[in-house]
Amino acid sequence: MSIHKVIIDADPGVDDAAAILMALASPEIEVLGLSIVAGNVSLEHTVTNACKLVGVSGRRDVPVFAGASGPLVREQVYGKYARIGSFDDKLVKAGDVVPAEESAIQFIVRSARAAVTAGEQITICAIGPLTNVALALIQHPDVARGIRQIVSMGGAFTALGHRTPWAEFNIYADPHAAEIVFQSGVPIVLMPLDMTFQALFTADHFERFRAGGEAGAALYNLFTTFDRSDEKRFGRPGGPIHDATTIAWLIRPELFTSREAFVGVQVTGLTMGYTYADFYNKMNRPSNTTVVTDVDETGFIELLIERIVRHGGEAPEIRTTGGSHA
């Protein structure tokens, strides 16, 4: 079994919670630490949420590092559910996990350099604004040699946006950071809304999270408290869990299909945060991104549920009925 050494760069966030707990239950993934950035909510709250998730997972060996409190250039914007702030103790049990003193940017740099020394490379799963990753690459360009790939949830092409009509939130929150990362030369695997909208979770799926001990109960509480459905947009009940696709891709890449493209970001003007993908080489520029275009809906849903249930120490019930968008 191939083991991925991973830094999860996140802005928890309900979707981030699912991705983090999925990774912490997956033997294929060695989580080196959580690199936390402001995004869905302020940095104070994203760090608190990350510490609570580590606590309910029982994985106190995984450190939490606080990173950038705002974007590189643009004014700060928060996510749709910014009013959540820190996860309420009734939703996610309070614990005593605290962040490390080292900054998230220093942690990324140190980890990448250590990987180079060991003749290895790390993966960064970036599921929030890309500010921390951009700062590490700008301030210390040599760390790129230690990064195998950046698997990022972000962007929207034909699906357009969900934070604005034209932009996905993670890119919109810091488009300048995103452009730096896309131009860094580090291989990028991108999970855009075009793909994440294909896998919709319903109340029945959330109910199955509850078999996952304290971690599963926390995830059930979060997803049943904040309604994510949009039947008018999706054409059927349910809502996506965007960020968990990054972890699923590392574990079972065969659930996904992809295309190579040059991807860029609009960093000024009314459409700031818009991502474009040149799938047909109209710009005559080399590909810089593997864009994931499709997902096996049933396979992804069952994989996420199975990993969350592992937190409860029970043998998961595997179901194979349902549609697929592969």
Catalytic residue positions, numbered:
242
* Secondary structure of 115-139 in HEC code, one letter for each residue: HHHCCCCEEEEECCCCHHHHHHHHH
Please state whether 319 falls in left (phi above 0), alpha (psi between -120 and 50) or beta.
beta
The answer to whether the CB of 7 falls within 8 A of the CB of 50 is no
Q: Name the helix (H) or strand (E) containing 257.
A: strand 256-265
Q: How far apart are CA 194 and CA 181, in angstroms?
A: 20
In angstroms, how far is the first alpha carbon of the chain from the final one? 25
- Where does the chain have alpha helices with state H? 14-24, 43-57, 104-117, 131-139, 169-173, 175-182, 193-196, 203-209, 213-225, 231-234, 244-251, 297-310
